[in-house]
């Protein structure tokens, strides 16, 4: 039941580079029905535990990307009105869903007060799971040692819970919006980090990189983008910078 046929979907770039393919798991109907039930059980526990803050809007009922777009716009306007600069880093994780550590998933579920029986069921699905990718007409089987299965309704929830471990531990002074502290905004694996200056922004990104590594995630510094809005009184001065490695 936990067997998955892996399909590699080409994204862009060099077709001979495996990094340019997205891994999708084709799973049985019975497996998907079971994981959907588990997702509902886990989701209820998560919302009751308040483990996920409003800053994470990915794969959650009554949340959307427009909420965070509004927050970023409001933050930019407030900083501009008070003649204060704004820096925002837009984080890109390398192969995020494929690399998250299973032990980190189990830890996140425990911190959400998910029923132990439900946790053991999820563990069983992953421990007994195997996958196969078709190579020249033949299935090459392999064991799944890390990552969540893209194509499964439970996987997005497991991922954002695990990522939250790193976001909770990230050291960032953040900013304030309507008297409320704002350290980050996230939609699944897309994370935006606001800061008052480049030093604070660098500190936050470094801290997130350290904490993300503990759960199996790596920030792609070349694809991570950061933005600067100057403190000029006469006009908006929005500058977009590609790549964060040179700053670090």
Q: What is the dihedral of CA 245, 238, 179, 166, to 10 degrees?
A: -20
| Sequential pLDDT tens for the chain (248 residues) | 566 667 677 888 888 776 777 777 777 788 889 999 999 999 999 989 999 999 999 888 888 888 899 889 889 888 988 889 999 999 999 989 989 999 999 999 999 999 999 999 999 888 876 666 666 566 666 667 788 987 788 999 999 999 999 999 999 999 988 788 899 999 999 999 999 999 999 999 999 999 999 999 999 988 899 999 886 544 455 666 767 765 55
pTM: 0.84
DSSP state of 146: B
């Amino acid at each position: 039941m936990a067997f998955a046929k892996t399909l590699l979907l080409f994204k862009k770039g060099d077709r001979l580079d495996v990094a340019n393919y997205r891994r999708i798991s084709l799973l049985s109907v019975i497996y998907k029905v079971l994981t959907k039930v588990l997702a509902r059980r886990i989701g209820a526990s998560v919302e009751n535990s308040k483990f996920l803050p409003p800053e994470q809007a990915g794969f959650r009922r009554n949340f959307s990307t427009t909420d965070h777009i509004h927050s970023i716009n409001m933050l930019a306007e407030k900083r501009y009105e008070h003649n204060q600069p704004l820096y925002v880093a837009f984080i890109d994780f390398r192969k995020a869903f494929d690399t998250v550590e299973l032990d980190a998933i189990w830890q996140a579920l425990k911190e959400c007060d998910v029923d132990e029986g439900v946790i053991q069921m999820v563990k069983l699905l992953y421990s007994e799971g195997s996958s196969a990718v078709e190579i020249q007409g033949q299935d090459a089987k392999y064991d799944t040692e890390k990552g969540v299965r893209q194509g499964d309704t439970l996987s997005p929830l497991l991922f954002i819970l695990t990522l939250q471990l790193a976001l909770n531990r990230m050291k960032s002074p953040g900013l304030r919006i309507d008297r409320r502290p704002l350290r980050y905004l996230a939609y699944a694996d897309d994370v935006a980090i606001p800061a008052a200056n480049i030093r604070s922004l660098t500190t936050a990104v470094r801290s997130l990189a350290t904490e993300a590594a503990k759960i199996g995630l790596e920030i792609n510094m070349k694809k991570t983008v950061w933005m600067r809005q100057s403190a000029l009184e006469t006009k908006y001065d929005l500058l977009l910078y590609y790549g964060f490695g040179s700053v670090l």
